[in-house]
Amino acid sequence: GQQLNQSPQSMFIQEGEDVSMNCTSSSIFNTWLWYKQDPGEGPVLLIALYKAGELTSNGRLTAQFGITRKDSFLNISASIPSDVGIYFCAGQKGKLIFGQGTELSVKP
């Protein structure tokens, strides 16, 4: 099935460090969404972006909707152990198309 290009695939960082991940696509999307998924659970929405160029924050998380509408990034500042999990980007054009996920590990 169709997927977005999400990078990096995995990250191992020290507690307190900042994290950055991004998604690119060959298609234009109307909406970009960022989700976090814990083992055995469904994805939980972190940030939704509805307008090209939009920069939105949710606590320590910041995400931007690329001006070309073909990319988005998510930054996590001052990471903590509970940030561990798999992060997915998703572009919306009717249905959601997901990236492959970024697995984040945080060392205390």
Partner 1 sequence: ETGVTQSPTHLIKTRGQQVTLRCSSQSGHNTVSWYQQALGQGPQFIFQYYREEENGRGNFPPRFSGLQFPNYSSELNVNALELDDSALYLCASSQLYRETNYGYTFGSGTRLTVV
Residues that bind partner 1 (CB under 8 A): 1, 3, 6, 30-31, 33, 35, 40-45, 48, 50, 88, 90, 92, 94-101
CB of 90 to partner 1, least distance (A): 8
CB of 66 to partner 1, least distance (A): 18
Q: Which is nearer to partner 1, 41 or 108 (CB)?
A: 41
Distances (CA, A) of 22 to 40, 41, 63, 106: 24, 23, 9, 18
H-helix or E-strand containing 95? Answer: strand 95-98
CB of 68 to partner 1, least distance (A): 19
Q: Which is nearer to partner 1, 1 or 14 (CB)?
A: 1
Q: Which two tokens stand for residue 73?
A: 């990034």
* Sign of the torsion angle spanned by Cα atoms 18, 21, 64, 91: negative
